[in-house]
């Protein structure tokens, strides 16, 4: 089992109470993966030239396939990622699909309140993207001291 930081464990518990499902934090996925998973950062493998999404900070991601209408719900993953070219242990990605803009905004507000209450969870800026039918958030939990 993945050992999470204290802030990541606390955030995970709070998100479960809000009805979120935790997904595995896949560090890299092929760009042409059948599940439609994507992350903001793309890299090319030296050996064969294949392209891969790398789990990274930003709201331009999909934890589930946005084209598949069956995938409406609330998901999150916490784990390794890349932020500003550096590796971090606790990158939080949140993906909500199949909701109204008002529902998305209410969830974002509630998640912000959760993050503010948990030591180590609010030390990093939270990036947010909200639209009709979706919301995405990301944050670094327990960021390293500079």
> Which of 104, 28, 94 shows the shortest CA–CA distance to 62?
94
Cα–chain center distance at 86:
17
Q: Is the pLDDT of residue 2 over 70?
A: no
Task: Give the per-residue pLDDT at 76.
Answer: 94
Question: Measured in Å, how far apart are the chain's first and last C-alpha atoms?
Answer: 29
Can you give the pTM of this predicted structure?
0.87
Q: Is the pLDDT of residue 144 over 80?
A: no
Three-class SS of residue 4?
coil
Could you report the per-residue pLDDT of 68-82, keeping only the tens digit for each? 766 678 999 999 999
Helix or strand (DSSP H, E) at 117: helix 101-117
Residue 120 or 100, more confident: 100
> 43: which residues sit within 8 A by CB, 6+ positions away?
28, 51, 52, 54
Domain boundaries, the chain: 6-25+57-140
| Out of 33-37, 115-119, 126-130, least confident range | 126-130
Asked whether 57 and 85 are in contact (CB, 8 A), the reply is no
Average pLDDT, the chain: 85
CATH number of 6-25+57-140: 3.30.1710
CA atoms within 13 A on the CB side of 21: 10
Provide the token pair at 81. Answer: 């990622």
Provide the token pair at 15. Answer: 């998100």
Asked whether 121 and 7 are in contact (CB, 8 A), the reply is yes
Provide the token pair at 130. Answer: 């909200």
């Amino acid at each position: 089992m993945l050992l999470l930081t204290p802030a990541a464990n606390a955030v995970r518990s709070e998100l479960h109470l809000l009805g979120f499902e935790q997904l595995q934090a896949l560090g890299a996925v092929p760009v042409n993966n059948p599940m439609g998973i994507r992350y903001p950062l793309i890299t090319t493998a030296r050996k064969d030239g294949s392209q891969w999404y790398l789990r990274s900070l930003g709201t331009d991601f999909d934890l589930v396939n946005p084209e598949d209408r069956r995938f409406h719900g609330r998901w999150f993953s916490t784990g390794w990622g890349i932020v500003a070219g550096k590796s971090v242990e606790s990158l939080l990605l949140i993906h909500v699909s199949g909701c109204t803009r008002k529902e998305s905004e209410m969830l974002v507000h509630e998640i912000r309140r959760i993050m503010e209450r948990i030591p180590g969870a609010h030390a990093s800026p939270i990036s947010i993207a909200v639209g009709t039918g979706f919301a995405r958030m990301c944050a670094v939990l327990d960021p390293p001291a500079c």
